[in-house]
Structure 1
Amino acid sequence: MNTEIDIAAPTIADRSTYQAQLDMLRIREKEHSRAGDAIAAARRRLPMVEVPADSPLIGAAGPVTLLDAFEGRRQLIAYYQMWHAGAPAAQQCPGCTFFNSQVRELAYLHSRDVTYATLCQGSYEQSVRYRDFMGWDVPWYSAQPSLDVLLGGRAPFVLACYLRSGDRVFETYWTTGRGVEAMEQTYGLLDLTAYGRQEPWEDSPAGWPQNIPDPARVDGRPTAQWSRIRAGRSDDLGTAG
């Protein structure tokens, strides 16, 4: 068997050797899944804290409240998107763009009585133009009037879960950093590939490609913006002087 290839890659093996090692890895994968299930079970047993249900938001119809953002459902998942006031689209947060771009089909959440919404940290007028440029159709609000109450200094970006009981609202969970990876499938798929995420921090064999220092930005823009630019969409956020 020819074992020479012209790029850095896994060693070549016959099917039985490959499957034997994959079977060993599968044991660890199942342990990982069960550990995740146990963490989720502990998460469901966390206490909750009440937040003002009348916290003001701004939406398409004008002023609304956090309670309104539930759209009558029992639970709300809210992503607090960062916003750089006065900055053009190219300078908006690439990470928030990365994560929010991947929340698309909401029917499965709705079937479990859960609403998803973006609560942007910037003004509604500018940020909704960004949403429209990106082509996102998730519910969109400005949480700018309520950031001190709802985030309480937690930053720079937050994914939070809420439970409604009548007219009362409770926060049941929040996370940031890599915890927000729950919003996306890209990393999960890349983690299954031979080269992984191709980011410098990963533990990969010598010679593996790891030359993506900013995985959410390409040529000075959040990566997902380029397809919108090529499609002729305007990225004018009304921020030009």
Structure 2
Amino acid sequence: MSLPEIVPRADWRAAREALLAKEKAATRARDALSAERRRLPAVEVGTEYVFEGGDGKATLLDLFEGRDQLVVHHFMFAPEWDAGCPGCSAFLDQIGHLAHLRARGTSFAAVSRAPYPRILPFKARMGWTLPWYSSYPGDFDRDLEATVERDGQPLDRAGLSCFLREGDRVLHTYSAFGRGLDGLGSADSLLDLTALGRRDPRGGVRHHDEYDL
């Protein structure tokens, strides 16, 4: 890998200004894409999925924790594995403090096909405290297309799915897989995938231990 060309400061400044114009155009295009994403139609989730987590059995509605939005990370962890996907693990490592999502009425949870007793020791090994649920042996991952069939065998895909709650109704609003997760991890980047987008928390952005959650 070669080093960049070394030039005088004035030449660097001119090149930087030219690139900045393209960066601003990309930002405007990304904002427009996020607005279009928020206008996507939604589909009601009619299946009563059952998950297992740290507090026992839970429904999809329970994963909202009383908030009106939910972002689910489809974490690749097959039932027969002893450890989760390294790439999915690297993604979870980048997730910031959940208070910044929760202050905007949005919950976050990881979901895997592995039984919860397999997830628990790996979660402890990684030092994660965020909510993580097992969908085993249900069809949640297949129905959300996070698990697909290849040569007659289930194949998991890393992904994110967004849900919106209207009373007791759960609406599926968006999903992304593979390269669609590039650049995601911050609260704002995850909120850009949701139907309600970036919402300022009551009282504005604060230190994570100052939110009244």
> TM-score under structure 1 normalisation?
0.69
Greater gyration radius: 1
**Cα distance change of structure 1 residues 121 and 182 upon mapping to structure 2, 3 Å threshold:** farther
Q: How far apart, in 2, do the equivalents of 1:149 and 1:178 lie?
A: 19
- Confirm or deny: 8 A CA contact 2:81 2:114 kept in the other structure: no
- SS of match in other structure, 1:133: helix
CA distance in 1, matches of 2:72, 2:183: 13
Residue 63 of structure 2, aligned match among 60, 69, 80: 69
Of 135, 145, 149, 1:143 maps to 135
1:56-93 superposed Cα distances (whole Å, 9 cap, x missing partner): 1111121110000000000000001111333333xx31
Cα distance in structure 2, aligned partners of 1:81 and 1:148: 10
Deviation for aligned residue 1:110: 0.8
- Report the counterpart of residue 34 of structure 1 in structure 2: 28
CA distance in 2, matches of 1:118, 1:148: 12
Q: Secondary structure at the match of 1:183?
A: coil
Q: Deviations over 1:128-161 (max 9, x none)?
A: 2211110111111112224256424554222000
1:94-113 alignment runs, 5 A limit:
94-113=86-105
Normalising to structure 2: TM-score of the pair?
Answer: 0.77
Name which of 69, 84, 88 aligns with 2:82: 88
CA shift at 1:27, angstroms?
0.4
Write 1 or 2 for the structure with the bigger share of strand: 2
Unmatched runs of 5 consecutive residues or more in structure 1: 1-6, 186-241
In 1: Cα distance, 2:141 partner to 2:19 partner: 46
Per the TM alignment, residue 104 of structure 1 is displaced from its structure 2 partner at its CA by 3.0
For residue 53 of structure 1, report the CA deviation from its aligned partner.
6.4
**Counterpart contact for 1:162–1:172, Cα < 8 Å:** yes
Q: 2:10 aligns with which of 16, 20, 30?
A: 16
**What CA RMSD, in Å, does the superposition of the two structures yield over aligned residues?**
1.8
